[in-house]
Chain A
């Protein structure tokens, strides 16, 4: 059952913040202070000449306490929380490209905590609370917008399933409201309510859900980690993982060998490749997921809206583009681009649900590489190698997990004990069959999610 917006793909370079470091920000590392209304006023009156880069671009040192492989949202958040929560600052993040250039820079920016199963439920609940405090914690505008996520239902059976899910969300302490057709019509009058095939019967509204500025999340965590002493090392591809007598001792990279006591792998769609360097095979298949953005329009869609009868989810970015996506292309791929049949399918679904968007012109589409796990739920765990930790399996839902994943992974790396909200994200659950988190009820094997 389509349970909600997949929410991993995004707006690319959609909103007009510069890509380069320091386009907007004030680097505290360079002593230029915190962001504040006063500071923006002052800079505005003095020609904006006082802004400095957000973070340094250091060369790797020979040794660190902790290495995080992967400078995406999850890796940067992990580094930030290692420093913030555990006082570990002799840390480096190794990124093969530029920071935030992978899935965190190409998702549909949806934030939500509407999961039903124990394990997922408490994790995403914790993550949403971190989202709500993120801007204050990072002193960075991540444009968190709790505009509400509305999952539509189109049949009696689906209404019952959503009522159950809403109850699960409220039992977890989060918010959910089951809306009837009239209430949905008041909220989003532009839907094709009387569609002959898929009439809209109502929806499940999660008001604390919404969207955030995806690149800003990566930059905010990068800036926070950098200011606490973490080295963010770009253009540094890990080519090998050094293991001596069952214990990790460091990594080989394109910028030389780096020794470390602990190493964390947080590389999303590339998880299998990096884990193979440590002799591991993972329960992961990498698939392609596409998303789309239209030209900028005046405000027309105020929420995140998901179609319950076909995989389609949409929101409008603050710049005005309609950002929408659908399902996987459903075959293993590292191409970061998809096929036309899924493009057609997504457009059909959108037109079925809200014909008013038919005249909007699509500007761009793109694909990302999803680390699909057999049960559709993630893995945050130790590995068979001492000091080597794994964070993967986010499937098509990694964006909303960024703060929670970073927080829980940092806890695991720092203390060697799982963090309670992520304690069920075990690597061995597929072998033992215990604690499988098959949110969609379709089975815990590849290609079912």
Chain B
């Protein structure tokens, strides 16, 4: 598997560290414990297209959102988290 980092280009999978579902980018408020727990623990866990977070640890150290297929391992897109998490 290779991922095309928007900053570095196509790189080996070993340069990247997997974090998990990109739902971690949309953190709910702390006011509702149930919503917070669900966000932290429950997952759609799709067999098919998914969005997850990868960290380009051995490269530019950017956080990336990777859209890929969990059944075929095809990678559809790689984008910087920074674009949607600018705060």
Q: B44 within 8 Å of A by Cβ?
A: yes
Q: B37 within 8 Å of A by Cβ?
A: yes
Give min CB distance, A341 to chain B, whole Å: 5
The stretch among A220-228, A236-244, A332-340, A407-415 that forms the contact with chain B is: A332-340
Which residues in B have their C-beta under 8 angstroms from that of A198? none
Which residues in A have their C-beta under 8 angstroms from that of B4? none
In the assembled complex, the Cα of A38 lies from the Cα of B40 at a distance in Å of: 59
Are the CB atoms of B13 and A284 closer together than 8 Å?
no
Q: A137 within 8 Å of B by Cβ?
A: no
Number of interface residues of B (CB under 8 A): 26
Q: A283 within 8 Å of B by Cβ?
A: yes
Give min CB distance, B43 to chain A, whole Å: 5
A-B contact count (CB 8 A): 70
Are the CB atoms of B19 and A281 closer together than 8 Å?
no
Interface residues on A, range: 20 to 34
Which single residue of chain A is at the shortest CB-CB distance from B33? A431
Q: Is chain B's interface secondary structure helix, strand, loop, or mixed overall?
A: mixed
Q: Mark A106-122, 1 if CB is under 8 A from B, else 0.
A: 00000000000000000
Interface centre among A273, A332, A431 (most CB of B within 10 A): A332
Which residues in A have their C-beta under 8 angstroms from that of B70? 286, 332-335
Are the CB atoms of A431 and B45 closer together than 8 Å?
no
In the assembled complex, the Cα of A367 lies from the Cα of B42 at a distance in Å of: 24
Give min CB distance, B12 to chain A, whole Å: 8
Q: Is chain A's interface secondary structure helix, strand, loop, or mixed overall?
A: mixed
Known: A332-B20, A335-B71, A447-B18. A286 touches B45 (CB 8 A): yes
Are the CB atoms of A339 and B43 closer together than 8 Å?
no
Q: Mark A18-51, 1 if CB is under 8 A from B, else 0.
A: 0000000000000000000000000000000000
Q: Mark B42-74, 1 if CB is under 8 A from A, else 0.
A: 111111001010000000000000000011110
Residues of chain A touching chain B, judged by Cβ–Cβ distance below 8 Å, are 270, 272-273, 276, 281-286, 330-335, 339, 341, 374, 430-431, 445-447
The 12 sampled A-B contact pairs (Cβ below 8 Å) are A270-B47, A272-B45, A273-B47, A281-B44, A284-B45, A286-B47, A333-B70, A335-B72, A430-B41, A431-B33, A431-B37, A431-B38
Q: What 18 additional pairs, Cβ within 8 angstroms, besides A273-B45, A334-B70?
A: A272-B43, A272-B45, A272-B46, A282-B43, A282-B45, A283-B41, A286-B47, A332-B18, A332-B52, A334-B71, A339-B13, A341-B13, A374-B41, A430-B37, A431-B34, A431-B37, A431-B38, A447-B19
